[in-house]
Structure 1
């Protein structure tokens, strides 16, 4: 069975690393969750505003280039 040992080392190490990761992970507290949610909401708003401005500028430029 010693010749099969190298084939079982990688999955065993992966399993041990995965178990260590699961044990070290914790759920966010309420304050952490709220701050993450606020950051994501602000990011959505900023990106939406930037997209709106780009579209607002793009339409007149496109009309000038196409000439329609």
Structure 2
């Protein structure tokens, strides 16, 4: 019974240990890398917004035709 409790308690300890190792090994991006990532995310937002707008633009009239202009 004590072994099972010990195994259950080892899981969070290993998780915390692995998390601390990850934080210690990671590094902050420099200014150039941060700007590049920000641009990529911005372009992604614009593309997804445009796709959503086009889908909505097509969906509304199509829905009106199918439903009967209610």
Larger relative contact order, structure 1 or 2 (CA cutoff 8 Å, min sep 6): 2
Please tell me the root mean square deviation across aligned C-alpha atoms, in Å: 2.0
User: Given the alignment of the two structures, is residue 22 of structure 1 paired with residue 10 of structure 2, yes or no?
Assistant: no
2:27 aligned counterpart, secondary structure: coil
- How many residues of Structure 1 are paired with residues of Structure 2 in the alignment? 65
Which residue in 2 is equivalent to 1:64?
65
1:28 aligned counterpart, secondary structure: coil
TM-score, normalised to structure 1, is 0.76
Show structure 2 runs of 5+ residues with no match. none
TM-score, normalised to structure 2, is 0.75
Which residue in 2 is equivalent to 1:46?
47
Moved over 4 A (4+): 8-12
Q: CA deviation at 1:20?
A: 1.6
